[in-house]
Amino acid sequence: MLSIVVPTYREGENILPLVRRIRAALEPAVEYEIVFVDDNSRDGTDARVRELQGQGAPVRLIVRESERGLSSAVLRGFREARGDLLLCMDADMSHPPEAIPTMLRAQAEQQADLVVGSRYVAGGGVEKGWGLYRWANSLVALTLARPLTKVRDNGAGFFLLPRRVFEQGRDLNPIGYKMLLEVSVKCPCRKVVEVPIQFADRKFGQSKLNFREQVLYLLHLKRLYDYKFGRASRFVQFCAIGASGVVVNLLALAGLQKLGLSQNFAYALAIWIAMTWNYVPNRFLTFDLTAHHPVLPQYFRFVLTCLVGAVVNWSVTVALTQEVSWFGGHVYCAALAGIACGTIFNFLISHAWAFKPDAAAK
């Protein structure tokens, strides 16, 4: 049986026409159910589902009163679905129900672990009228996620997978609205097939894509990069934050000197400001598993690590310039080597000591 999971929030106007199109596309050839997972819209969605049930449509409704979010709604629907095939689609009819039989055939004929209704394969596309902002937003989102998955349309919300594949997924914990990314990274989707669809603009209701959802998307990407690439992902984040700290250091130094502080005191204070700047995003982003730890002891360990790392940086630079003749004539190369060694030291000690995660969270 096929379970079609549709997350909803204030999509009441779309319920009846969506179900009519699904029934026309699937009946009588396919045994299916439609599971609406609603985030307590209070817009008549429940009444419309009851109306459809009275007409004999295989629909049911799950109302979530304390949770919010598209991806977590899909996760709830997949877990409570009855079918051995699970399909996710949006409620706004941007995903054509008429493509579902094609997706089912692709899965059966190719024994696919994941079938995606794709805008970005031959024959796929989007309805005319997309503005520059939507194209740019989509392109940036797809590019940022490219290293995570081989799915070309990795931002799609229209996909199908067997229950056995979903149940083999590990640590499923999505945030935001890109459930496909969570599934394609954390479930064993070895055989992926993309079938072309024509993506349409919604006809009723309003889009839920806002600034908050875009921030959640970036946080979701961070989680998935950490999951897939582990320590390498955290090291890149650590280096990026460190680079921003250099800018903060220079700006603080300039400002402190304008205030008339002595040069040596300004140097020291600017370094402390930069270390404090680096601590905050490292606590809440790079090493986010430790964000619940007491601040002051963790901050002290981080500052101490940075100070020792600075000594490592200085020692390597001096040793190279004094002991290796080539570096004596290429001082900046020695400095870069010192910075690299200091950064690696800082990261390793931060990971193992300053931001040591709980044993259960490793």
Alpha carbon distance 337, 344 (integer Å): 11
**162: β partners:** 85
Residue pair 48/12 in contact (Cβ under 8 Å)? The answer is yes
Q: How many CA atoms lie within 13 A of 291 on its CB side?
A: 10
- Residues 271-307 pLDDT 10s: 899 999 999 999 999 998 888 899 999 999 999 999 9
State percent of the chain over pLDDT 90: 65
| CA-closest candidate to residue 177, choices 192, 157, 195 | 157
Alpha carbon distance 292, 314 (integer Å): 33
**What is the β-pairing status of strands 159-162 and 85-88?**
antiparallel
The three-state secondary structure class of 78 is: helix
**What is the β-pairing status of strands 159-162 and 114-118?**
antiparallel
State percent of the chain over pLDDT 70: 96
Token representation of residue 156: 């799609």
Q: What is the reported pLDDT for 335?
A: 85
> How many beta carbons lie within 10 A of that of residue 164, not counting itself?
12
Residue 315 dihedral angles phi and psi, to the nearest 5°: -65, -45
The pTM for the full model equals: 0.84
What's the chain's length in residues?
362
Token representation of residue 175: 């945030």
DSSP assigned state of 41? -
Q: What is the reported pLDDT for 207?
A: 67
Alpha carbon distance 117, 112 (integer Å): 13
Output the CA torsion sign for 211, 213, 214, 219: positive
Alpha carbon distance 293, 289 (integer Å): 9
Q: What are the pLDDT tens digits along the chain (362 aa)?
A: 999 999 999 899 999 999 999 999 999 999 999 999 999 888 899 999 999 999 999 999 999 988 888 899 999 999 999 999 999 999 999 999 999 999 999 999 999 999 999 999 999 988 876 767 777 888 888 899 999 998 999 989 999 999 999 999 988 988 877 899 999 999 999 999 999 999 987 777 666 666 777 888 889 999 999 999 999 999 999 999 999 998 998 899 889 988 988 877 888 888 899 999 999 999 999 998 888 899 999 999 999 999 999 899 889 988 998 888 888 888 888 888 988 999 999 999 999 999 988 654 55
| 272, burial (CB in 10 Å: exposed 0-12, middle 13-18, buried 19+) | middle
Our CA angle for 156, 160, 164, nearest 5°, is: 130
Q: What is the reported pLDDT for 135?
A: 79
**32: β partners:** 2
Q: Which amino acid is at 164?
A: R
Alpha carbon distance 180, 157 (integer Å): 6
